[in-house]
């Protein structure tokens, strides 16, 4: 019997879509094969670069490198060399870094890397930014400075780090503010950069920044993030500002960040006031802070807190309680027996058992003998 | 013999199949195109993080919830591997869901567990907890022993109640994580305080070799079924997830590998016991709660944190899994139907939910019906040889292209399988899966749809583990 439908439009469309996708697939296979070839030759080149430069790099890190020993670095080998050079640079500290920089200088790494800043590939640009930062050459400061305004948070934040490595004082003065304005930067990355800076140099500018933005009424989350960076500053510098915030703010996140960092007894009265706060997160932070500050006077407050409505507050209060001075095993046992609340008794027993089991965790949870 | 009406019927049906086909594969293509635009640049940017990078101490602590039901063969190496994760502060909470084997015994012996007098707080529902154990050797390892709840959701809920930290990650007992995965997965939480959940990339463990709970060598699965699943996972995690995420419409964070804000999950009642797809149900409920109540939130997906999991290698187990997944899909869609075209539902209610319901959900029905229709028409001479071939080419061409595009993405980003031989095997798999495997999966999924419609009794089922990837230590343990 003859076919009823020889060719209709649906069949034609199906035919062309199917054929086009099959052709596209074959094209993709071709692209992948080409990419594989490229990758294989790049891997080979990397191995050659590693073999050729490994010894020189280690000698440079040991400051045993002699300029007359230098070899030529070709443009093709540059990305692989930069990775190795940066890898070593990030792994070591102190004098060894200057040895690597001397090697970089003798290879004219600065000029070669500078061109990579214009690369269309983001990974090459990032590596260039990092290299220039590690080289610490002041002439590259203006070019990297431009990248701080880049829309991409990764490029801008790495540029910011590079600037700190080139000139700390200038960057603190001109660009510390970026930790507030660039909300898209990772706070973890920012913390790592701030951690690298000498505490004496960073302390005052950062405290001033926090104070200024608190006065300006910075948004709650941003403010709490900013306060958490105060852990990289000196207690003598941040004590006053933390105290001010603690007395003036009522924002949950801000108060939590403050309570986490307070180490001074001067604000004890204010801290104690928060023990009855309606927000459990604040009560939790208060009992932890009281435990950290360790005043005998607060033992009763902590005992009361072991009967809190929230489990976590009870748990942290019990942990703080058993670490208070004068809380001997005997005293805790006696106390546990006399407490009227079952909640309090249970949670203290749980904490004590945990401490007894994990006897090696003496620094964080221990019974005072 | 055949009248004009028959011919019209055939033509109309052909058009219906074609439109459906274009809509389904067109969506996949759009997602693939988005992924191709986004993923390679993202991975290039991440490359700078290969440089030594000290931790800042600002990373939020995480609870890893390992649910275990009859997992004595794999639980010890899994926990040992988790203990070595590269992250500053985390705890491991194993939930023994009433195992009938020696899961609790091997854990007690290996990790020196002792019972803890814990006042267990129940914020989400689950079966009663029998006891909580603490490891004397590892302060960050605890075990909850509970009555069997019959589903993973019940065990996960017990884990959520026992978790000490604000972020938690539910894991299966056979999951192998890359050492840096927590550092990578936590980034969206750090960057955006509104983030309530983040999913990562799940890969197939079959064929790989593992030593002390860590991947020693990555290989392609030797079993064809596992290879096809590896291609499916590549398509799902490198194209679909990246695409939906870019459209802010992520409908699913895999139950095998995701990180959640505990309070957000508690707010929606934890994992649902009713659903067979508890992971998708949770994500859809989170969308529903936060979107419909106008609470700012973000569910995210990052492709570079990787976890490895074992795929079924036998038809029977795979069939069970696919039937369950399909029923789970409809469970989730039905439970969260309020999201569909809701004015406040955004991308989820207007893009991914309708896609899951109208295209992906009913795809097995259309595919199986289409297949039967064309075979019938061919033998009844209602369609000629060229017509049948054209539709076969359409099905094959789009299917093959989507797999090849996913392999291309894999090649330009991670290149997990660098050997040339592996490349050709993957391509071979992408070709062969169109002739039998896909149709077979469609039939199983159709069975799942029918079972869901008939509301036949559902069971969680057990995943038979081959554990061929495990090292000698594990093998000895299993013996």
Put simply, whether B42 touches A (Cβ < 8 Å) is no
Enumerate the residues of chain B whose CB falls inside 8 A of the CB of residue A360: 139
- Cα A53–chain centre separation: 32
What's the average model confidence in pLDDT over A61-80?
A: 79
Count of Cβ atoms closer than 10 Å to residue B293 Cβ = 10
Q: What is the model's pLDDT at position B475?
A: 43
Put simply, whether B26 touches A (Cβ < 8 Å) is no
- Domains by residue range for chain B, with CATH: 60-327 (3.90.550.10)
Token digits of residue B107: 């854990």
Count of Cβ atoms closer than 10 Å to residue B234 Cβ = 23
Question: To the nearest whole angstrom, how far is the Cα of B101 from the nearest Cα of chain A?
Answer: 27
Enumerate the residues of chain B whose CB falls inside 8 A of the CB of residue A195: 56
Put simply, whether A219 touches B (Cβ < 8 Å) is no
Q: What is the model's pLDDT at position A354?
A: 82
Enumerate the residues of chain B whose CB falls inside 8 A of the CB of residue A155: 45
Put simply, whether A130 touches B (Cβ < 8 Å) is yes
Contact by Cβ (8 Å): B93, A232: no
Tally the C-alpha atoms within 13 A of residue B421's C-alpha that lie toward its C-beta: 4
The whole-angstrom separation of Cα B186 and Cα A328 is 40
Indicate yes or no: CB of B384 within 8 angstroms of CB of A6.
yes
Put simply, whether B166 touches A (Cβ < 8 Å) is no
Enumerate the residues of chain A whose CB falls inside 8 A of the CB of residue B56: 188-189, 191-192, 195
CA A182, A187, A190: angle at the middle one, nearest 5? 80
List chain B pLDDT tens, one digit each, 479 residues. 455 666 677 778 888 888 898 899 999 999 999 999 999 999 988 888 888 877 777 889 999 999 999 988 889 988 998 998 999 899 999 999 999 999 999 999 999 999 988 777 788 999 999 999 999 889 899 999 999 988 889 999 999 999 999 999 999 888 889 888 999 999 999 888 899 999 999 999 999 988 877 788 999 999 999 999 999 999 999 999 999 999 999 999 998 899 999 999 999 999 998 888 899 999 999 999 999 999 999 999 999 999 999 899 999 999 999 999 999 999 999 999 999 999 999 999 999 999 999 999 999 999 899 888 888 888 888 777 787 888 889 889 999 999 999 999 999 999 999 999 999 999 999 999 999 999 999 999 999 999 999 987 665 555 555 556 555 444 444 43
The whole-angstrom separation of Cα A322 and Cα A314 is 12
The whole-angstrom separation of Cα A284 and Cα A286 is 5
- Quickly list DSSP for A15-45: HHHHHHHHHHHHHHHHHHHHHHHHHHHHHHH
Put simply, whether B4 touches A (Cβ < 8 Å) is no
Token digits of residue B181: 């995965």
Question: To the nearest whole angstrom, how far is the Cα of A19 from the nearest Cα of chain B?
Answer: 7
Enumerate the residues of chain A whose CB falls inside 8 A of the CB of residue B134: 354, 357-358
Q: What is the ipTM of this complex?
A: 0.84
Put simply, whether A363 touches B (Cβ < 8 Å) is no
pTM: 0.87
Q: What is the model's pLDDT at position B145?
A: 96
Q: How many interchain CB pairs under 8 A, A with B?
A: 176
Indicate yes or no: CB of A5 within 8 angstroms of CB of B7.
yes
Indicate yes or no: CB of A18 within 8 angstroms of CB of B404.
no
Bin B301: left if φ > 0, else alpha if -120 < ψ < 50, else beta: beta
Nearest to B2 among A4, A154, A347 (CB): A4
Indicate yes or no: CB of A191 within 8 angstroms of CB of B53.
no
The whole-angstrom separation of Cα B264 and Cα A297 is 37
Residues whose CB falls within 8 Å of the CB of residue A334, separated by 6 or more in sequence, listed in order: none
Q: What is the model's pLDDT at position B5?
A: 65
Indicate yes or no: CB of B397 within 8 angstroms of CB of A184.
no
Contact by Cβ (8 Å): B257, B174: no
Nearest to B423 among A36, A130, A158 (CB): A36
Question: To the nearest whole angstrom, how far is the Cα of B340 from the nearest Cα of chain A?
Answer: 31
Put simply, whether B22 touches A (Cβ < 8 Å) is yes
Put simply, whether A360 touches B (Cβ < 8 Å) is yes
3-state SS class at A183? coil
Put simply, whether A146 touches B (Cβ < 8 Å) is no
Put simply, whether A358 touches B (Cβ < 8 Å) is yes
- Cα B345–chain centre separation: 23
Question: To the nearest whole angstrom, how far is the Cα of B65 from the nearest Cα of chain A?
Answer: 19
Put simply, whether A24 touches B (Cβ < 8 Å) is yes
Indicate yes or no: CB of A21 within 8 angstroms of CB of B114.
no
Count of Cβ atoms closer than 10 Å to residue A172 Cβ = 19
Put simply, whether B326 touches A (Cβ < 8 Å) is no
Residues whose CB falls within 8 Å of the CB of residue A145, separated by 6 or more in sequence, listed in order: A159, A163, A175
Distances (CA, A) of A348 to A138, B40, B91, B184, B398: 59, 53, 21, 37, 64
Nearest to B411 among A13, A15, A35 (CB): A35
Q: What is the model's pLDDT at position B291?
A: 95
Q: Please provide the distance, in angstroms rounded to a whole number, between the alpha carbons at the two ends of chain A.
A: 101
Q: What is the model's pLDDT at position B150?
A: 87
């Amino acid at each position: 019997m003859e076919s009823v439908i020889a060719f209709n439009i649906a069949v034609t469309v199906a035919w062309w879509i199917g054929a086009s996708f099959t052709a596209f697939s074959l094209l993709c296979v071709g692209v992948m094969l080409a990419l594989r070839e490229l990758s294989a030759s790049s891997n080979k080149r990397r191995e050659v670069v590693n073999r050729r430069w490994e010894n020189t790099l280690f000698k440079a890190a040991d400051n045993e490198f002699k300029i007359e020993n230098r070899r030529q670095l070709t443009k093709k080998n540059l990305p692989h060399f930069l990775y190795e050079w940066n890898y070593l640079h990030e792994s070591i500290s102190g004098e060894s870094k200057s040895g690597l920089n001397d090697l970089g200088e003798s290879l004219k790494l600065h000029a070669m890397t500078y061109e990579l800043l214009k690369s269309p590939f983001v990974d090459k640009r990032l590596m260039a930014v990092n290299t220039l930062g590690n080289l610490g050459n002041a002439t590259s400061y203006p070019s990297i400075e431009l990248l701080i305004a880049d829309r991409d948070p990764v490029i801008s934040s790495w540029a910011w780090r590079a600037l700190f490595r080139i000139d700390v004082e200038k960057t603190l003065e001109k660009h510390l503010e970026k930790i507030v304005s660039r909300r898209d930067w990772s706070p973890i990355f920012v913390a790592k950069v701030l951690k690298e800076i000498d505490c004496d140099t960073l302390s005052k500018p950062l405290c001033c920044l926090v104070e200024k933005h608190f006065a300006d009424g910075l948004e709650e989350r941003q403010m709490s993030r900013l306060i958490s960076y105060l852990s990289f500053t000196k207690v003598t510098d941040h004590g006053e500002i933390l105290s001010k915030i603690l007395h003036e703010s009522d924002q949950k996140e801000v108060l939590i960040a403050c309570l986490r960092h307070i180490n001074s007894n001067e604000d004890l009265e204010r801290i104690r006031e928060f023990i009855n706060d309606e927000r459990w997160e604040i009560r939790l932070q208060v009992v932890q802070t009281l435990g950290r500050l360790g005043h005998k006077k607060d033992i009763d407050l902590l005992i009361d807190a072991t009967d809190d409505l929230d489990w976590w507050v009870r748990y942290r209060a019990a942990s703080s309680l058993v670490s208070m001075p004068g809380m001997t095993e005997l005293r805790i046992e006696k106390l546990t027996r006399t407490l009227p609340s079952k909640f309090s008794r249970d949670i203290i027993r749980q904490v004590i058992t945990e401490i007894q089991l994990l006897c090696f965790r003496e620094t964080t949870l221990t019974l005072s003998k | 013999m055949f009248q004009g009406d028959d011919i019209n019927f055939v033509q109309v049906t052909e058009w219906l199949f074609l439109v459906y086909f274009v809509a389904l594969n067109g969506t996949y293509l759009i997602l693939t195109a988005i992924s191709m635009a986004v993923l390679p640049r993202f991975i290039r940017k991440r490359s700078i993080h290969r440089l030594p990078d000290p931790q800042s101490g600002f990373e939020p602590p995480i609870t890893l919830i390992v649910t275990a039901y009859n997992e004595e063969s794999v639980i010890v190496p899994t926990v040992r591997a988790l203990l070595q994760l590269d992250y500053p502060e985390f705890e491991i909470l194993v939930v023994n869901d009433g195992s009938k084997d020696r899961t609790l015994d091997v854990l007690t012996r290996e990790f020196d567990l002792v019972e803890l007098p814990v006042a267990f707080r129940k914020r989400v529902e689950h079966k009663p907890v029998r006891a909580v154990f603490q490891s004397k050797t590892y302060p960050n390892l605890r075990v909850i022993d509970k009555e069997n709840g019959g589903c993973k959701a019940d065990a996960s809920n017990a884990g959520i109640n026992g978790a000490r930290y604000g972020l938690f990650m539910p894991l299966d007992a056979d999951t192998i994580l890359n050492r840096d995965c927590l550092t990578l997965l936590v980034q969206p939480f750090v960057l955006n305080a509104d983030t309530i959940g983040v999913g990562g990339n799940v890969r197939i463990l079959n064929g790989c070799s593992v030593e002390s709970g860590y991947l020693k060598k990555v290989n392609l699965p030797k079993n064809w079924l596992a290879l096809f699943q590896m291609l499916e996972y590549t398509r799902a995690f490198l194209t679909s997830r990246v695409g939906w995420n870019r459209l802010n419409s992520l409908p699913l964070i895999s139950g095998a590998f995701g990180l959640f804000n505990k309070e957000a999950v508690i707010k929606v009642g934890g994992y649902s016991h009713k659903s067979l797809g508890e992971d998708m149900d949770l994500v859809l409920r989170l969308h529903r709660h936060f979107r419909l109540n106008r609470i700012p939130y973000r569910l995210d997906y990052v492709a570079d944190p990787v976890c490895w999991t074992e795929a079924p290698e036998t038809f029977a187990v795979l069939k069970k899994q696919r039937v369950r997944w399909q029923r789970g899909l409809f469970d989730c869609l039905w439970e969260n139907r309020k999201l569909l075209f809701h004015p406040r539902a955004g991308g989820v209610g207007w893009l991914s939910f309708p896609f899951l319901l109208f295209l992906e959900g009913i795809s097995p029905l259309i595919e199986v019906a289409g297949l039967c229709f064309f075979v019938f028409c061919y033998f009844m001479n209602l369609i000629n040889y060229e017509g049948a071939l054209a539709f076969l080419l359409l099905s094959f061409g789009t299917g093959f292209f989507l797999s090849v595009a996913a392999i291309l993405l894999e090649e330009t980003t991670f290149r997990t399988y660098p050997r040339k031989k592996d490349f050709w095997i993957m391509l071979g798999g992408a070709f062969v899966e169109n002739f039998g495997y896909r149709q077979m999966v469609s039939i199983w999924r159709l069975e799942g749809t029918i079972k869901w419609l008939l509301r036949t009794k559902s069971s969680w089922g057990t995943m038979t583990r081959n554990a061929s990837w495990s090292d000698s230590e594990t093998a000895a343990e299993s013996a």
